[in-house]
Amino acid sequence: MDRGPNGDLVVPSWVECPGFIPDPIKKTFIGFSPSKREYKIPGTVKVLTLEEAQARARSINLESPMKKMDGTIMSDEDINTLIGLIVADNDYD
């Protein structure tokens, strides 16, 4: 997170799909940015491959389960599909 003008925490402006997969324990999130961009991403940000993002999201789901629209907990397959669709549908990397 970045610090906003009022001292509050805000999603960095270069994250186009912010906080989609939050990690409440580590107080971080998996965000997404397009593969073709005219701005830089800070060097302190860990850039993940699709497989790494899926693994991290599955790990987050173990500690802080994410739910589907029907209220059931997402499976590993659900997580992999979700991350894959976000990346494919929006040209994120």
In the block, residue with structure tokens 């789901």: 61
Q: What is the mean pLDDT of the chain?
A: 87
pLDDT digits (tens, 9 = 90+) for 61-72: 999 999 999 999
* Alpha helices (H) along 1-93: 50-63, 76-90
Percent with pLDDT over 70 in the chain: 96
Confidence at 87, pLDDT banded by 50, 70, 90:
confident
CA 32 to CA 30: how far, in whole Å? Answer: 7
CA 53 to CA 31: how far, in whole Å? Answer: 10
Q: Which residue has the higher pLDDT, 74 or 41?
A: 74
